[in-house]
């Protein structure tokens, strides 16, 4: 599950970056990721701006992102544009698509 590993690296960088955590303070969204291999994991943003990545499914995620593993990894790494993936049907979003775009912007800042 390479997409999990890539996102986990970003989460570790985020949690070590006090300026970015300060910018994200008050964000409490939960992003559920699902791939075509049956793997699930979710990213939780905490009130203090930190984030936690957990394997499994969350009972009530804010946004659910579903894609093939290779596409999910490419989106997380920034090699595939999330908006293009959504409009081409490679990425399915359940919940607020604007919140999903905000996540993409956060990942860009971490990289």
Domain ranges of the chain: 2-106
The pLDDT tens digits of the residues spanning 30-52 come to: 999 999 999 999 999 999 999 99
Q: What is the CA radius of gyration of the chain?
A: 13
pLDDT in the model for residue 110: 83
Tens digits of residue pLDDT in 51-66? 999 999 999 999 999 9
Statement: 2-106 belongs to CATH 3.20.20.140: no
Measured from the Cβ of residue 80, the count of other Cβ atoms closer than 10 Å reads 18
List, for residues 65-79, the tens digit of each pLDDT value: 999 999 999 999 989
- Tell me which residue has tokens 């985020």: 14
Rounded to two decimals, the pTM is 0.92
The secondary structure of 34-89 as a DSSP string is EETTS-EEEEEE-TTS-EEEEES--SS-SEEEEE-HHHHHHHHHTSS-HHHHHHTT
């Amino acid at each position: 599950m390479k997409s999990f590993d890539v996102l986990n690296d970003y989460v570790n960088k985020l949690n070590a970056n006090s300026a970015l955590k300060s910018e994200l303070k008050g964000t409490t969204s939960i992003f559920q990721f699902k791939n075509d291999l049956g793997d699930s994991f979710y990213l939780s943003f905490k009130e203090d701006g930190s984030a936690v990545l957990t394997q499994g499914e969350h009972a009530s995620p804010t946004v659910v992102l579903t894609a093939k593993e290779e596409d999910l990894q490419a989106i997380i790494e920034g090699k595939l544009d999330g908006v293009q993936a959504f409009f081409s049907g490679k990425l399915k979003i359940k919940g607020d698509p604007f919140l999903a775009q905000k996540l993409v912007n956060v990942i860009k800042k971490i990289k």
